[in-house]
Amino acid sequence: MSFTKIAGLGYYVPENVVKNDDLAAIMDTSNEWIIERTGIEERRFGTRTKETTTTMGARAAEIAMQRAGVEKSDIDFIIFATLSPDYFFPGCGVLVQRELKMTEYEAPALDIRNQCSGFLYGLSIADQFIKTGQYKNILLIGSEMHSMGLDFTTRGRNVSVIFGDGAGAVVLQPSDEPGILNTCLHSDGTHAEELASINPGSHSGYHLGTERFGYDDRKYGGTFLTQKMWDGEDLYPYMNGQLVFKTAVTKFPEVILEALQKQGLSPSDISILIPHQANLRISQFIQRQLKLRDDQVWNNIQRYGNTTAASVPIALTEAWEAGKIKKGDLVCLAAFGSGFTWGSALIRW
């Protein structure tokens, strides 16, 4: 059986740099608070007239395809991971196919909704399709346009200061040599609403109306959009930051060790760990837990914030461009986020 390799990789971030002080000018927050709690110094926000989740994904994909030396006609499967799609439906997979002018080849397009671990889930799906021989050139994209859907008032500050926009992409191909050594995926829906954007949706107040919102929106009788939502009270993402933080610092090391143990390896064997960029404090915690040196962990949340499904491929591409990933290196990817869903991948480069 063949392995799957990353044949090309690329990223795109909007030009528009938003500093912490820019946010402090519109809500009650400060540069000091954001840096101390998250490590973030600045992030990129897209421009409404210029960028969407799809177009950013397309720009990253063009770079990945060019580096892989493949033509549009070679791509036989598209996987798109995002929680901030251009449309509720159809998904960004078909939109990126159109944006890249690839529709004539009629390659299948799959959208995955696994938030921060979307890229890891996509990588695992692609790996299975390559290993079974069904596809030979898979385009996997993670892209997010968070800035269009955040609450930039003080009410939403614990969420809105964290997230940024951007996209990353890889082209995956079969290889005789490893390759992706393994992927480990997990989920636990117990706390689904603790990091979530639930409106508009068809839940109709599903088991949380009264407790969470102080009113029972079931009384609106299954309405997809309610007046309350339009009034802006519950249209934004919600995050129980402390619960997410506590769970993340447990699950990240667990799933990284799981991947290493499957291969009979240990943390000291890792050449570089690319963790999902959720919070610099989370990355530092993982680093300490696994006793990794600074040069074994790549962080760029300081410059881009948390770009959810895009964060791993952006960081991976940056590390590769910086010469930190060489042939034979053991690269470990890991992510945790909403769902909760989490995962890891070990790649022999």
Active-site residues, by number, are 116, 276, 306
Phi-psi region of 278 (alpha: psi -120 to 50; beta: other; left: phi over 0): alpha
Residue nearest to ligand UT7 (CB): 241
Neighbours of 15 (CB within 10 A): 10
Per CB under 6 A, 245 contacts ligand UT7:
yes
Neighbours of 201 (CB within 10 A): 13
DSSP state of 297: B
Q: Binder to ligand UT7 among 248, 270, 301, 309 (CB under 6 A)?
A: 248
Rounded to the nearest whole angstrom, what is the least distance from the CB of residue 340 to ligand UT7 in the complex?
9
Within 191-210, the residues that bind ligand UT7 by CB under 6 A are 195
Rounded to the nearest whole angstrom, what is the least distance from the CB of residue 142 to ligand UT7 in the complex?
12
- Whether the bond between 253 and the residue before it is cis, its omega within 30 degrees of 0, is no
Looking at 11-19, 43-51, 227-235, 241-249, which segment touches ligand UT7 (CB under 6 A)? 241-249
Per CB under 6 A, 300 contacts ligand UT7:
no
Closer by beta carbon to ligand UT7, 172 or else 278: 278
Question: What is the size of the binding site for ligand UT7 (CB under 6 A)?
Answer: 19
Per CB under 6 A, 84 contacts ligand UT7:
no
The amino acid that residue 13 corresponds to is V
Q: Binder to ligand UT7 among 183, 299, 306, 344 (CB under 6 A)?
A: 306
Closer by beta carbon to ligand UT7, 156 or else 209: 156
Per CB under 6 A, 149 contacts ligand UT7:
no
**Nearest one of 339, 347, 333 to 142, comparing CA atoms:** 333
Per CB under 6 A, 337 contacts ligand UT7:
yes
Looking at 42-50, 74-82, 202-210, 239-247, which segment touches ligand UT7 (CB under 6 A)? 239-247
CA-to-CA distance for 83 and 97, rounded, in angstroms?
A: 18
Neighbours of 133 (CB within 10 A): 10
Q: Binder to ligand UT7 among 157, 217, 287, 339 (CB under 6 A)?
A: 157
Within 43-82, the residues that bind ligand UT7 by CB under 6 A are none
Per CB under 6 A, 187 contacts ligand UT7:
no
Cα three-residue angle 266-272-276, rounded to 5 degrees? 100
The residue written with tokens 């079931």 in the block is 218
Instruction: Report the chain's terminal Cα–Cα distance, integer Å.
Output: 18
Beta strands in the chain (DSSP E): 3-12, 17-19, 42-44, 77-81, 109-112, 138-144, 166-175, 180-187, 195-196, 238-239, 272-275, 330-337, 341-348
Rounded to the nearest whole angstrom, what is the least distance from the CB of residue 167 to ligand UT7 in the complex?
16
Rounded to the nearest whole angstrom, what is the least distance from the CB of residue 68 to ligand UT7 in the complex?
28
Looking at 53-61, 92-100, 155-163, 196-204, which segment touches ligand UT7 (CB under 6 A)? 155-163
Structure tokens at 332: 């470990």
Q: Is 109 helix (H, G, I), strand (E, B) or coil?
A: strand
Binding track over 16-35 against ligand UT7, x by CB under 6 A: -------------x---x--
CA-to-CA distance for 280 and 134, rounded, in angstroms?
A: 39
Q: Helix, strand, coil shares of the chain as percentages rounded to 5?
A: 40, 20, 35
Binding site for ligand UT7 (CB under 6 A): 29, 33, 37-38, 116, 157-158, 161, 195, 241-242, 244-245, 248, 278-279, 282, 306, 337
